Amino acid sequence: MTDRLPHEKGFHVSWDQLHRDARALAWRLQGQGPDEGAWRAVVAITRGGMAPAMIVARELDIRVVDTISVKSYNHQTQAAPKIIKSPDMDVIGDGTGVLVIDDLVDTGKTIEAVRRHMPKAQIATVYAKPMGRPQVDTFITEVSQDTWIFFPWDMALQYVKPYRGTD
Ligand SMILES: O=P(O)(O)OC[C@H]1O[C@H](OP(=O)(O)OP(=O)(O)O)[C@H](O)[C@@H]1O
Ligand SMILES: Nc1nc2[nH]cnc2c(=O)[nH]1
Ligand SMILES: [Mg+2]
């Protein structure tokens, strides 16, 4: 178990923002596949990669969608990443023409494990921190290493007190 650096800042992502950023990722990946620009399949890194992978698959009209499950974090503490479910290797092969999608790269350890599994795949994330950035082929937004990204599925709308009280 490695205790991670403290996260001084929070970056809170709404569904709307995630949708726009995942669409931007699809836009960037479009036409980059090896078969006349097309991609054969999408593999989502569960669980955080599933929503962005769905949006990318929809935008790029990719109907073959699979998952790879990597377990490493327990809340904000990281252990060695372990692949606990692989995609269908008959379909995915060495990853040629396959897009692997995750919500973010932080230390890059999750993607390192995935890349060993599918060395020829194109790996893309919506958000990237500097440490993991070299591990991904494509990303949309960089956030600093001391920032924790909060995704819409981790949050709920709640009341916020006004700056100036009336009582
Ligand atoms: O670059 P790394 O330091 O390896 O961290 C990035 C990974 O951590 C988070 O997943 P997590 O393991 O928390 O699981 P989840 O997607 O199921 O929430 C995130 O969704 C990435 O997959
Ligand atoms: N939600 C979330 N999961 C992570 N896993 C590794 N880094 C992060 C992060 O910044 N936010
Ligand atoms: Mg994840």
Task: Report how far apart, in Å, the C-alpha atoms of 114 and of each of 6, 39, 89, 90, 108 are.
Answer: 26, 18, 13, 16, 10
Parse the chain into domains and list their residue ranges: 24-148
Ligand 1 binding site (Cβ under 6 Å of any ligand atom): 45-48, 72-73, 78, 102-110, 132
For the domain spanning 24-148, the CATH number is: 3.40.50.2020
Distance 56 CA to ligand 2 centre (A): 20
What's the gap in Å between 69 CA and the centre of ligand 3?
A: 8
Write the pLDDT tens digit of every residue in 105-142: 999 999 999 999 999 999 999 999 999 999 999 999 99
Half-sphere exposure of 149 toward its Cβ, with a 13 Å CA cutoff? Answer: 20
ipTM over 0.95: yes
